[in-house]
Amino acid sequence: MLDLRFVRDHQQEVAQAMKNRNAKWDGAKFSKLDEERRSSIAEEESLQAERNSLSKNIGKLMAQGNKEEAERVKEQVRVINGKLDVVSERREKADKALRDLLLATPNMPDATTPVGKDENDNPEVRRWGTPRDFEAEGIKMQPHWDLGPQLGIIDFDRAVKLAGSRFILLGGLGARLERAIINFMADTHVDRGYKEWWCPAMANAETLTGTGQLPKFEDDLFKTREGMYLIPTAEVQLTNIHAGEVLDAADLPLKYCAYTPCFREEAGSAGRDTRGLIRVHQFDKVEMVKYAKPEESFDDLESMVADAENILQLLGLPYRVITLCTGDIGFSAAKTYDLEVWLPSYNNYKEISSCSCCTDFQARRANIKYRDPDNFKGTRYVHTLNGSGLAVGRTMAAIMENYQQADGSIKVPDVLVPYMGGIEVIGPEE
């Protein structure tokens, strides 16, 4: 959430930032609500001061035996209390409306985030690896949605029977490969200094509000009858672990990771990526989250991107890194890098990780602060960062397609062989 005072003092800057983000911003509404709130507070304080002054006199008058005058003053106090009720209600209403407005307003993009309209304006930063030339190898490339059923490791039809469209059913070595990828990713991040957590797959509304999924993106979430939500990413839980807490500067940055199943309604993606593992309602993901000092957070973002790249490099999967422009950046993010893995079936790169610095936007919503007595008095909001490390289903799809062999089998990447119990090739199930 944006700081109220910042918005008040930098309205033109905020308006331009929202325009760059293709986001709606009603500056006139903000100013009106802000003025209503401030005038109500001033009137409230004036009435309270008057009431307190009169209340002091009541005791004196009673002590002097002037009951008639005391009763007159009591009546004045009762009138003031009635006015206070009205003013307090007006202030509370303005407070709520102002908070609702700010809760629906996205983060300010960092100055280093390129200005652009949509994904077509995202500049490429670098590439790693060289995509295979299947034609030169004399191999007819098969997409993972064909390879999986042929090998007996993915059953799309039975997944539809069990749950519906955009769900998957993994069997045999497909299930084992999913577990292998998860364990490999989690172990690798732990080796690079992340603390692993095992989180609930459900969250309450307050937790989802803290990271920015609520209230704006409720339609993208699965909700239970009890008012709980299935999490769309472990970012929700990892970022809110310290909600309402004050951290010590000496402990920053905190580096957390977690595997969780993730659930997304995908309400705004009808007709997109309907085949295979790319866009489904339930998927596995290993997530990274950092709590950082404001002056270090963008350096921490670069190192988080390197941690995600490390997974792809160890797997030997070609990828590229892009910077998201203002028109494509996520709601809570100030700056974002996307990692896109090469998928032969698309003859293109597809997102497999998104790493973002959210500055103090989420920390302000979740009330996460830190103290650093050597450098400042009191407390300040931390900066939060999050990144996929990686999306497991998309990683599996990339492995299947990039490591397929002429006979239709799939070579297991060397780093996954120990996690596969020594299995080096996935062939048709007998």
In which region does residue 324 sit, left (phi positive, over 0), alpha (psi from -120 to 50) or beta (all else)?
beta
Lookup: tokens for 100: 């609702």
pTM metric for this prediction: 0.94
Above 70 in pLDDT, residue 267?
no
The band of 61, judged by pLDDT with boundaries at 50, 70 and 90, is confident
What is the arithmetic mean of pLDDT over 260-282?
Answer: 82
Backbone angles phi, psi at 345, to 5 degrees: -65, -30
What does the alpha-carbon distance between residue 192 and residue 195 come to, in Å, rounded to a whole number? 9
406-430 pLDDT per residue, tens = 999 999 999 999 999 999 999 987 6
Provide the CA 390 distance to its chain's centre, in angstroms.
14
In whole numbers, what is the pLDDT of the chain averaged over residues? 95
Distance CA 352, CA 146 (A): 20
The secondary structure of 347-380 as a DSSP string is: TEEEEEEEEEE-TTHHHHHHT-EEE-TTT-SSEE
Burial class of residue 112, CB neighbours in 10 A (0-12, 13-18, 19+): exposed
Active-site residue among 37, 91, 264, 380? 264
Q: Which two tokens stand for residue 187?
A: 């172990």
Residues 6+ apart with CB under 8 A from 396: 144, 174, 177, 178, 181, 277
| Mean pLDDT within 112-123 | 98
pLDDT at position 406, please? 95
Question: Is 192 marked active-site?
Answer: no
Residue 254 pairs with which residues in a beta bridge? 291
Q: Residue 266 — very low, low, confident or very high, per pLDDT cuts 50/70/90?
A: confident
* Tens-place pLDDT, residues 206-253: 999 999 999 999 999 999 999 999 999 999 999 999 999 999 999 999
- Our answer to whether residue 394 is catalytic in this structure is yes
| 326 within 8 A of 109, measured Cβ to Cβ | yes
Domain ranges of the chain: 26-103, 119-426
- Looking at 90, 99, 192, 279, which residue is catalytic? 279
**Active-site residue identified among 353, 354, 356, 388:** 354
Helices in 120-155 by DSSP H: which ranges?
Answer: 134-137, 144-151
Cβ atoms of residues 151 and 409 within 8 Å: yes
Q: Are 338 and 324 in contact (CB under 8 A)?
A: yes
For residue 105, pLDDT beyond 90: yes
Give the phi and the psi of residue 15 in degrees, each rounded to 5: -60, -40
Q: Which of 242, 167, 244 is nearest to 197 (CA)?
A: 242
Superfamily the domain 119-426 falls into = Bira Bifunctional Protein; Domain 2 (3.30.930.10)
Q: Nearest CA to 231 among 190, 200, 193, 195?
A: 200
165 in catalytic set: no
Query: Residues 340-350: pLDDT tens digits?
Result: 999 999 999 99
DSSP readout, 323-337?
E--TTTS-TT-SEEE
279 catalytic per annotation? yes
Residue range 383-396: mean pLDDT, rounded: 98
The helix (H) or strand (E) run that includes residue 212 is none
Determine the length of the chain.
430
Asked if 42 contacts 34 with a C-beta cutoff of 8 angstroms, the reply is no
Given the residues 69, 265, 351, 409, select the one marked as catalytic.
Answer: 351
Catalytic residue among 51, 91, 380, 394: 394
Contacts of 213 (CB under 8 A, 6+ apart): 220, 221, 229, 232, 236
Q: What is the pLDDT of residues 317-368, one digit of tens each?
A: 999 999 999 999 999 999 999 999 999 999 999 999 999 999 999 999 999 9
Locate 86 and state its tokens: 């009205």
Dmax (CA) of the chain: 109
Helix (H) or strand (E) holding 404: none
Residue 90 appears among annotated catalytic residues: no
- What's the confidence (pLDDT) of residue 268? 55
